[in-house]
Structure 1
Amino acid sequence: MMGHSHAISGAMLYAASAPFLPPLLLGTHLRPADILMGTVLCAGAALLPDLDHHDGTIANFLGPISKVLCRLVAWVSGGHRHATHSLLFVALTGAGSWAGITYLGRNFTLGLTFFLLALAIRALRLHPPGDGPTAWITVMGMAALGTAGLNNWMPTAPGWLPYAVALGTLAHLLGDCLTKKGAPLLWPHKERYEVVLIKRSGNGVETKVLVPLMTAATFVLLWFTAVSPTVLT
């Protein structure tokens, strides 16, 4: 799947699960603001497994910085669709986010927010076209402004943020399992799991059917879970 599709899938899963899973897993009900913020950040987190792709959407979102980062991760993880496309990576991203928020405090939380926002802005194509300096400098500026804005609404230690990170990462894996190459969910076991719905990344099924349906579903879900409760109160 393309980066845009992964981001939409992450947003949709967060919006759909926010009223149910956080109360069950975290013991807390999310505010409308938490649902809206989490939906955007989960969209960014849905690109994290592609840190192993030296030429994917994620490789260009921070210019030379992300290029170097992706090449390093690809080298450490064994290349594209290996370690970072596993359930182990999902657990590590969730646990790592929780540990950073818990032990490193507000600066880590805001740094993670900036990183995920930049990913979401890039994946959702909210920047000038292309991969040049204009694009990635705009992404960084928009992410910085967004982080400053979210700082006024985000709790000191948002318990929903590690959940959003892990869910977005999982959404990416589920999306890749719909393609011909699948994903090695049980890495280091090398078997790849797939239910081929998308034979080629960016084909008509993905761009003309799945993406519009997921986009519409996300907005409908957000209306019922985050917007209408605020309007009614």
Structure 2
Amino acid sequence: MMARTHIAFASLMMVACSVGILQRMPQLHEVAIAGAAGLLPDLDHPKSTFGRIVPYISTPLAAIFGHRGFTHSILMVVAMVYLLLTYHHNHNWPVLPLVVGYLSHIIGDMLTPSGVPLLWPVRQKFSLNLFKADGPMEQLIYRLCWVGIGYFLWVAFERPGEIWLQPLQAHLETQLWQLFAHSKVFVVQWVERLAAT
């Protein structure tokens, strides 16, 4: 997956996790953090978004593990969860958004032909091979993710458009009722004329 799709997919996964599992609307900052965390596994690629920001981390990771190696494995997720929970109380880390975002990246890459080494250090890569990176299907997924996130934002901000739409809706209803009343009178007059002939 491309970086922009990882961000959108991670953000949507945070919304889905919060609403579907925790039965609550996620906070906007949680969605943003999850979106950013969706890029973290690519720290093992010096030319990735985060790789360019922190080359002193990315370059050694790439040299030791290569791209889509340790950082794309279940072992890394377990290590990450352990560290976050261990130091959560001291630093108040947003554990859930970071984990959801990170996992979404691995899931996203597993959908592509390249796959991910889930059981690293075993080098076998797991792939569902559903679509090629940056192909038409990924572009569709990217857009659908943002539609879902847009709907979440609309709900989270208490459907702001409804405030603007209510006067228009009331006006349209009034016009429709007037048209209906006028039409009813017209139909009655027309029927009366037909009956008179």
TM-score bracket, shorter-length normalisation: 0.7 to 0.9
CA RMSD, aligned part only?
A: 2.4
Using the TM superposition, give the Cα deviation of residue 211 of structure 1 relative to its aligned residue in structure 2, in angstroms.
Answer: 0.6
Counterpart for residue 110 of structure 1 = none
Moved more, 88-97 or 170-179: 88-97
Equivalence map 1:28-177=2 (5 Å): 35-60=27-52, 62=53, 66-76=54-64, 78-103=65-90, 105=91, 157=92, 161-177=94-110
Q: TM-score, normalised by structure 2?
A: 0.73
Given residue 157 of structure 2, which amino acid in structure 1 is its aligned partner?
A: V
Instruction: Name the larger-Rg structure.
Output: 2
CA distance in 2, matches of 1:39, 1:221: 10
Unaligned runs of 5+ in 1: 24-28, 106-156
Relative distance call for 1:54 and 1:213 in structure 2 (3 A) is same
Relative distance call for 1:219 and 1:180 in structure 2 (3 A) is same
Counterpart for residue 9 of structure 1 = 9
Q: What's the CA shift string for 1:163-194, capped at 9, x where partnerless? A: 11111111001110111110111212222111
CA distance in 2, matches of 1:45, 1:83: 16
CA distance in 2, matches of 1:53, 1:97: 23
CA distance in 1, matches of 2:159, 2:79: 34
SS in 2 for 1:228: coil
Aligned residues: 162
Conserved? CA contact 1:45–1:165, under 8 Å: yes
Instruction: Report whether the alignment pairs 1:214 with 2:132.
Output: no
Unaligned runs of 5+ in 2: 161-197
CA distance in 1, matches of 2:136, 2:118: 26
Conserved? CA contact 1:16–1:221, under 8 Å: no
CA distance in 1, matches of 2:98, 2:77: 8
CA distance in 2, matches of 1:183, 1:94: 19
CA distance in 2, matches of 1:94, 1:166: 7
CA distance in 2, matches of 1:202, 1:193: 19
Using the TM superposition, give the Cα deviation of residue 198 of structure 1 relative to its aligned residue in structure 2, in angstroms.
Answer: 2.1
Counterpart for residue 205 of structure 1 = 137
